[in-house]
Amino acid sequence: MKNIQLKILPHLSQYRDTIDEMEMVVNRIIQKKQNGEMWFLEYNHTYTAGSSADSNDIKNQDIEIIQTNRGGKHTYHGPGQRVIYLMMDLHDIFGEKPDLRQYISMLEDWVILSLDDIGIDASKSEINRGVWCGSNKIVAIGVRLNKWVSYHGIAINISTDLSHYNDFIPCGIDGGDFGITSISQELKKDYFMRVFDNVLIENFNKIFDFNIIY
């Protein structure tokens, strides 16, 4: 079983600085200089655009959009949202034939299992990536690979102020049939991020054959 180091960042992170540091870790993993890392973090208010983002999805032209190299379209990061970045060599999961689609599916399974543990019924979508509670998205996923080392990851709405999603079309999905939700909204009560962190950590090696080290 491979090791992965867990880092829970205690303060609100700045997006550009965090991405720069993540890319340095990815390069060290590619060079076989270190094991994988998993970061749990929370951002200041940030809007990002992935590699398939469409500028027509922006409703509020006054917001700053940071261009990124992750997959996906536009999304929001901010207080109350747990962002998890996983930097790992997919050969350590799949052997000689890494599978990006299966890796993303495993990320979804991990969060769905954890949400179920706290009483939230969530599922995958046959059309759109991420994790859904009915027609409302609760988890966004955006992943990139560099020589089969993964980076970026998932964003889970815990107690996020969902009004920020009104500034753009989240993940390019428009229309009254789809929305955005959070753990607090689904449970109809305040929910604390660190409580869900513990659930996620407990379930990680039920999906991924890795030993978490601190």
pTM for the model stands at: 0.93
DSSP class of residue 182 equals -
The predicted model gives 107-113 an average pLDDT of: 98
Specify whether 171 is catalytic: yes
Amino acid, single-letter form, for residue 110: W
The predicted model gives 191-196 an average pLDDT of: 96
pLDDT in tens, 121-143: 999 988 888 999 999 999 999 99
What are residue 43's DSSP bridge partners? Answer: 13
Q: What pLDDT band is residue 42 in, cutting at 50, 70 and 90? A: very high
Q: Which pair of tokens denotes residue 42?
A: 């929370």
User: How far is 122 from 98, CA to CA, in rounded Å?
Assistant: 26
Domain boundaries, the chain: 2-213
Q: Annotate 60-108 with DSSP letters as a single string.
A: -TTS-EEE-SSSSSEEEE-TTEEEEEEE-BTHHHHTTS--HHHHHHHHH
What is the pLDDT, as a whole number, of residue 87? 98
pLDDT in tens, 69-100: 887 888 899 999 999 999 999 999 999 999 99
Amino acid, single-letter form, for residue 142: G
CB 104 within 8 A of CB 144: no
pLDDT in tens, 9-26: 999 999 999 999 999 999
What is the pLDDT, as a whole number, of residue 43? 96
User: How far is 35 from 64, CA to CA, in rounded Å?
Assistant: 35
Write down the CATH number for the domain with range 2-213: 3.30.930.10
Strand residues in 45-178 grouped as ranges (E): 46-49, 65-67, 74-77, 81-87, 131-133, 136-146, 149-157
Distance of CA 13 to the CA centre of its chain: 15
- Which of 120, 171, 173, 180 is catalytic? The answer is 171
Instruction: Kindly tell me if the per-residue pLDDT of 155 is higher than 80.
Output: yes
